[in-house]
Amino acid sequence: MVSPGARPWRGVRARLRAVSTRALLRRHLAALVVLAVLAGTALLVSYDVVHRSPERVRTGIAPAAQQVAAARIALETAHRHAEAAVGRPASRVTGVGEGFRTQLSAADQNLSRAADKQLAGPYGRGELDTVDGLLTVYADAVNQAAGMYGGEPEDELRTMRELRMTEAGSLMHRRVTGMLPRLAALQERQLEEVREELEFSTAQRVGWALAEAFLVLTALVLLSASRVLRRRCGRMFDGWLLCGLLLTLVLAVVPVRWTGTTQDRLDTVSARLTSLEHAAAQQHITRTATEVRRAADSAHGRAGPLLGFGACGLALLVLPSAGLLHRLRADYGRARP
């Protein structure tokens, strides 16, 4: 006795048997073409979005974050040199010192490089221009404190130097508008951009989910076409469709694995660049730059694999379609309806 739940399936099978072999193969061919195009497009776009990031890390993202951090550290170090030089007894203050000038020059150079690569758009350029202008005023105040007075009594010299250093300290540390708070805010904004740029976003997850879904559907259509050829055309084995199934498996597995490896590297880059927010020494920046470069270089390349996957996608479209077309022409005469 047949259960009532089986009756709808019996009806479907009956309707499929009523469809001619030619019509059935044509439907499989049309579905295969559509799904192969959709799967290939979704796969290549999703792969390209992730794998173009390592190059952007090397040429723009990492240098921008590192140079702002380096400028901040150089300014902090320069101010410590200035305080040490001006804090001596007035009779022993002979200038601000080579250490101060070296660090100030390093800060100026890093600010210039950061202006070319910074990630925060007009806001970032405006902040860097402001800091660059404040840097000139700051250097003048420190130079005055360190050596532009002579002949005055010790107490007056100390008072004037303290005033100039207070002015310089305000330019450096003043809340919101000082050079260091501005650079800290810019660095925070840039690191937000870094995290957004390198994270595996919801849109990327949807893109990969669609690519995998289309590949699964393509495999199901190929299996269904093989079943039709076996039952209606007596073809136990079709090399064209088998090649299509193998290509589908390759495209469903290899790009995902390589993308997972690349995303792991990008997560490492993001974590290391984020650590620059609390960097207190140039050695930290140098070490971070080395680790970031190593992680970006170890990620899978973009151009070669992208062309390879594109060729596989084209083969997935052409080979099974050619096989079905050949069966339509060569075997339909022997196929029973």
- Burial environment of residue 247 by CB neighbours within 10 A (0 to 12, 13 to 18, 19 or more): buried
Nearest CA among 198, 216, 227 for reference residue 61: 198
CB neighbours of 44 closer than 8 A, spacing ≥ 6?
306, 309, 310, 313
Confidence of residue 229 (pLDDT cuts 50, 70, 90): confident
What's the burial of 136, exposed, middle or buried (CB within 10 Å: 0-12/13-18/19+)? exposed
- For residue 35, name the pLDDT band (cuts at 50, 70, 90): very high
Query: Which tens digit of pLDDT belongs to each residue from 300-335?
Result: 666 567 778 888 888 888 888 887 877 777 655 444
Q: Which amino acid is at 282?
A: Q
pLDDT at position 330 is 67
**Position with higher pLDDT, 88 vs 244:** 244
CA 175, 177, 181: angle at the middle one, nearest 5? 60
Contacts of 267 (CB under 8 A, 6+ apart): 198, 199
Note the pTM of the prediction, 2 decimals.
0.74
- The string of pLDDT tens digits covering residues 260-284 is 888 888 888 888 888 888 887 888 8
Structure tokens at 115: 């202006």
Confidence of residue 90 (pLDDT cuts 50, 70, 90): low
Query: With bands split at pLDDT 50, 70 and 90, how would you rate the model's confidence at 37?
Result: very high
d(CA 180, CA 130): 12
Neighbours of 200 (CB within 10 A): 15
Q: Output the average pLDDT for the chain.
A: 81
pLDDT of residue 151: 52
At residue 12 the predicted structure's pLDDT band, cuts being 50, 70 and 90, is very low
Q: Is the pLDDT of residue 191 over 60?
A: yes
Q: Determine the pLDDT at residue 337.
A: 43
Burial 253-274 (b: 16+ CB within 10 A, else e): eebbebbeebbebbebbbebbb
Q: What is the pLDDT of residue 1?
A: 44
Q: Are 38 and 231 in contact (CB under 8 A)?
A: no
Contacts with 63 (C-beta within 8 Å, 6 or more apart), sequence order? 113, 117
pLDDT band at 2 (very low <50, low <70, confident <90, very high): very low
Range with the poorest average pLDDT among 166-170, 229-233, 331-335 = 331-335
Report, as an integer, the average pLDDT of 291-304: 74
| Amino acid type, 302 | R
Tell me the pLDDT band of 135, cut-offs 50, 70 and 90: very high
